[in-house]
Structure 1
Amino acid sequence: MAHSHRTATPPRPPPAPASRRRANEIKARTNVTVVIGNPPYAELANGVGGWVENGGLELKNKKGNKPILDDWIVPGMGKFTAKLKNLYVFFWRWATWKVWESTPAAADGNLGVIAFITTSGYLTGPAFEGMRAYLRRYASEGWIIDCTPEGQTPDIPTRIFPGVRQPLAIGIFVRRAGTDNTTPARIRHRVLGGRRADKFAALAATQLDDDGWRDCRTDWTAPLTPASTSQWDTYPALGDLLPWYSPGVFPTRAWVYAPSRGVLERRWSQLIGEGDRERKAKLFKEGRDAHLKKTKPRLPGDDTSRTAGKPLLQETATKPATARVGYRAFDRQWVVADPRVMDMPRRDLWAARQPGQVFVVEQHRHSFQTGPGLTFSALIPDFDHFNGRGGRVLPFLHPDGTPNLTRGLTTALAHCIGTEVAAEDVLAYVAGVVAHPAFVETFADELTTPGIRIPVTKDAGIWTRAVDLGRQVLWLHTYGHCFTGEGRPAGDVRLPVGDPQRPLCQKPVMALPEMLVYVEDRQAIVMGDGEFGPVTRKVWDYAVGGRNVIKSWFDYRKKEPGGRRSSPLDDVNATEWDPDWTGEFLDLLSVLTRLVGLEPQQAETLEFILTGGVVMLNDLTAAGVRWPQSTADRKPYHSLDSVADDRGDTLL
């Protein structure tokens, strides 16, 4: 709702062209000082943003203007630009332009207030750096009220709007006379907790000058979240230690994943064997970036499809190429390794698959309060690997096999710590320090701003202890494929025979299970007609980013599997229990049992690090680290063998 000096008039019939032009002129030239609203939300709204998105107002002296949305696009953010194509963002950009920019000649024409309740992605998302810089530049002050600290899809009684799954925030920004555009605006933040009635009561009692606010960070593009009161911001960010990162594999169609190869073969057979073009398109779930007529260059790897150069309409292969993939945290599944069935296969990640590779997975977009701060996988991860809500992948190795570490890092660390540091030690240290619940609990307040930072000890003894713990963590997260050594055999993560903690299949699963129950007094998991134990309560409760690992694993293998459905192929599932799943479940229980056993040592080591001397960002810079400054500094390194095929996608 926009407020101006004009008096509102009653509704009238749709205007004639001349009236429409006059109305548009009034909209463009009338001084509006307040805009308040609850704009609609719609992702991937490319093309529906009118002149805000596409440029050119319907005024003679404005035609040909560049889109005002472009002011929020910063250099190097090309892969994130699509996130700005959201209806609520179009409304934000229109409102800021209308109140602060559209009538500069009018008295007080660049002053006013904007107050919206919208989804909260703009507070922290990398796509919104330009928007945040703009708000800090044009506003005098701002206030952010986080209405959904519970995160995505909270319990309905806690939601401000019961039907809205997305996290919401109220943003209030005011521009007063004399605002200095060269000084970032002071922006404050507060959180509404509890049930809906509690939030409304807290909101009613809120004053803009009360003591319930916390100041946000002041860097131009920094998240609109509270500034840390600890040394957190002086620690190096994970994304600066490992500068090349990428989203995970993003097919946009769920049927290309399955926990067994046989299911993928049945789905593929049904798709390829379908003779009706319309039905085939429905099975495939066609979209802009992947459809039946489109061909794509082959993905790197001997296990990927060799026929990607012809459209699926002409495909005759009776079995698909399949590859192992890290679908969710600790959940290894299979994927159709064919770029024709994927919108965004992430070729560089496929090229980076090699012996010794560890894919670090970080939830850098959403806050979370439980579980380890990071997960690791020897298999190429899915886009939603961490906890089903996006994230990013930071490979330890480039496609050419060299470590993905920022330049000068190992030498600088050796200088600051006083011990020799190898590339593998850096990754192991990160795993030992971050991959346990005590890290997330210790930095719960700091992690309300998503993104992991690494406290680096100055003590060589503590460094070595953290590295040793991290080697065990990496061995376990990768199911024994990486960081093998004494006591860490390749491919075998089970506890020794005779160890009382060793999980066993105490009763075999004979049929596809429908239920999963934990029996605490027996320390057993009952899965359908099968039973596994011993399993402690901590293992049963083990979660990553709020997502229970065991329940998630089971959800994809039960009689009626969970997950989203967008194609009839999603209903083609296992008809009997796969015997391999029993072994995989025992491996999962073994990994979680061992990780829970390491947690006290990791928590103690973290405490030693934080109470001792810590290497700061400035220390590493002075010691010669060359932090990434540009997009070019964050690109993967390819060898002649690993270089991506640059042939474009083609149409039949």
Structure 2
Amino acid sequence: MPCVTHDDAPLLADLMPWSVAPPRLGRGWPAAPDPACLKARWDALMKATGEDREALFQSTRARTPHSAVGRLPGRDGGTERLARASGPCAEPVRVLYAPFDEQWLIPDQRLIDAARPELWRVADERQVFVVEAQGARDGAADGDAGPPLLATSLPPVLRAGRVRPLYRRPGAAEPNLALGLTGHLAARLGHAPSPVDVLAWTTAVARPTPAGLAVPLTGDVDAWERGVAVGRRMLWLMRRDGERPKLPGGRRPYVRAPLPSRPLTVRYDRDEEALLLDEGRVSPVPPEAWEFEAGGVRVLEQWFAARTEAGEPGTLAAIRPVAWPQAWTSELLELVTVLTLLAELRAERVALTSPGLPRPITPAELREAGVLPVPSAARRPASVLDAQEEGPEGQLALL
């Protein structure tokens, strides 16, 4: 039976042709795990004047307090130059700040070096962004690492690979898929897959190659349905969508010993399957959750560090919660469960394409069907003119 290998699989860059470089914040203080401290940082910036405000802002070549910048699409940030601004803080929004780490951001383009407005323009409750994980384009093996594609319903601002929205327009309009792809899959599978099905399959089987992420495709109905089922579960876990997940057997991690108000260290007790935050204790924490890595770093350690590392004195980043918020504990418990369940899916992901997929759909077949190559327009953002956008100093933006 002919099987497809990753060497003869289409590239993600061709199947989801529109992609955007990841946003670049340029300074750390406009993002934080706690929204209240972001408003406090903004207030401190507004109270400062002249050189003090400029020092707190942390200017770069791309942004200074004197930069003329428009409003982020769909957000309520101001547009006057920050050097003379005095208005309230834009309401912080939830973002994916790092792999599996949801934080908060002041959605004000004056604070962000490269906000990628085209991503914010299509962000809504039905959008799904997929991000190439760090190292995915280098052919990195899975090991304890997470999947090569991260998925989120939130605006992604993490420093990783390119961002691909599932839809090119708001309201789940115009899927960001190669024209004719779903039709060709329908002809091979006997039914038309939805855009989310294609994304689920892609999330489950995408693998790094030297040329970029490859997405093996199949015309075998059973193999396709297995892959879509695995991918949909991965999407559910990564997007934290709906009911909270549980560990196998219905278990859930709990706080067994109270967490201190300002924990400084995190350790793992493998024998007890416990996460130790100073004298605080959370269990059960399966080893798979503790060892789960993204970009060569343990996710749980990185998540903890983002909430406990002190900012440099005298900077806005030094304004942090005085005590560990209860919300962080809830997020930690859910993160442990998510990482454990994703790790358990790793074997199923590998089995989907090992040793190969039956009834392969190759790039040559897609070229013969006219699906590839994709037109150059498909690699550019669609025109989204549903709402007026405010440019610098309150002017109407020209799109």
Contact residue 295 and residue 311 of structure 1 kept, 8 A: yes
**Residues 646/244 of structure 1: CA separation in 2 closer, same or farther (3 Å cut):** farther
Unaligned runs of 5+ in 2: none
Identify which of 431, 434, 442 aligns with 2:203.
431
1:493 corresponds in structure 2 to 244
**Residues 501/602 of structure 1: CA separation in 2 closer, same or farther (3 Å cut):** farther
* Distance in 2 between residues matched to 1:451 and 1:649, nearest whole Å: 41
Q: Which amino acid aligns with 1:378?
A: S
1:548 corresponds in structure 2 to 298
Contact residue 368 and residue 545 of structure 1 kept, 8 A: no
Asked if residue 395 in structure 1 is aligned to residue 165 in structure 2, the reply is yes
Q: Which amino acid aligns with 2:370?
A: G
2:263 corresponds in structure 1 to 513
* Distance in 2 between residues matched to 1:343 and 1:382, nearest whole Å: 12
Contact residue 81 and residue 393 of structure 2 kept, 8 A: no
Asked if residue 300 in structure 1 is aligned to residue 77 in structure 2, the reply is no
**Residues 539/318 of structure 1: CA separation in 2 closer, same or farther (3 Å cut):** same
1:552-567 alignment runs, 5 A limit: 552-558=302-308, 560-561=309-310
Q: Which has the larger radius of gyration?
A: 1
1:373 corresponds in structure 2 to 148
Asked if residue 627 in structure 1 is aligned to residue 373 in structure 2, the reply is yes
* Distance in 1 between residues matched to 2:220 and 2:390, nearest whole Å: 47
Unaligned runs of 5+ in 1: 1-229, 385-389, 441-446, 481-489
1:240 corresponds in structure 2 to 14
Q: Which amino acid aligns with 1:584?
A: E
> Aligned to 1:600, what secondary structure does the other structure show?
helix
* Distance in 2 between residues matched to 1:416 and 1:329, nearest whole Å: 35
2:60 corresponds in structure 1 to 287
* Distance in 1 between residues matched to 2:68 and 2:286, nearest whole Å: 50
Deviations 1:144-201 (A, max 9, x none): xxxxxxxxxxxxxxxxxxxxxxxxxxxxxxxxxxxxxxxxxxxxxxxxxxxxxxxxxx
Task: Give the structure, 1 or 2, with the largest relative contact order (CA under 8 Å, sep 6 or more).
Answer: 2
1:422 corresponds in structure 2 to 194
* Distance in 2 between residues matched to 1:286 and 1:361, nearest whole Å: 28
* Distance in 2 between residues matched to 1:408 and 1:572, nearest whole Å: 51
Q: Which amino acid aligns with 1:415?
A: A
Q: Which amino acid aligns with 1:382?
A: V
> Aligned to 2:330, what secondary structure does the other structure show?
helix
**Residues 273/433 of structure 1: CA separation in 2 closer, same or farther (3 Å cut):** same
1:3 corresponds in structure 2 to none
Indicate the percent of aligned positions where both proteins have the same amino acid. 31
1:605 corresponds in structure 2 to 352
CA RMSD of aligned residues (A): 2.5
1:618 corresponds in structure 2 to 364
**Residues 373/310 of structure 1: CA separation in 2 closer, same or farther (3 Å cut):** same
Identify which of 382, 385, 395 aligns with 1:640.
385
* Distance in 1 between residues matched to 2:313 and 2:359, nearest whole Å: 53
> Aligned to 1:369, what secondary structure does the other structure show?
coil
* Distance in 1 between residues matched to 2:379 and 2:277, nearest whole Å: 45
CA deviation after TM superposition for structure 1 residue 494, in Å: 2.8
* Distance in 2 between residues matched to 1:594 and 1:324, nearest whole Å: 23
Stretch of structure 1 that moved more, 366-375 or 531-540 = 366-375
* Distance in 1 between residues matched to 2:25 and 2:98, nearest whole Å: 14
1:13 corresponds in structure 2 to none
* Distance in 2 between residues matched to 1:567 and 1:295, nearest whole Å: 26
Q: TM-score, normalised by structure 2?
A: 0.89
* Distance in 1 between residues matched to 2:64 and 2:115, nearest whole Å: 14
Q: Which amino acid aligns with 1:503?
A: P
CA deviation after TM superposition for structure 1 residue 403, in Å: 1.1
**Residues 295/321 of structure 1: CA separation in 2 closer, same or farther (3 Å cut):** farther
CA deviation after TM superposition for structure 1 residue 545, in Å: 2.8
* Distance in 2 between residues matched to 1:240 and 1:543, nearest whole Å: 28
* Distance in 2 between residues matched to 1:561 and 1:554, nearest whole Å: 12
Asked if residue 475 in structure 1 is aligned to residue 221 in structure 2, the reply is no
Deviations 1:392-446 (A, max 9, x none): 1011111343211111110012223343322111001011223xxxx56xxxxxx
1:260 corresponds in structure 2 to 34
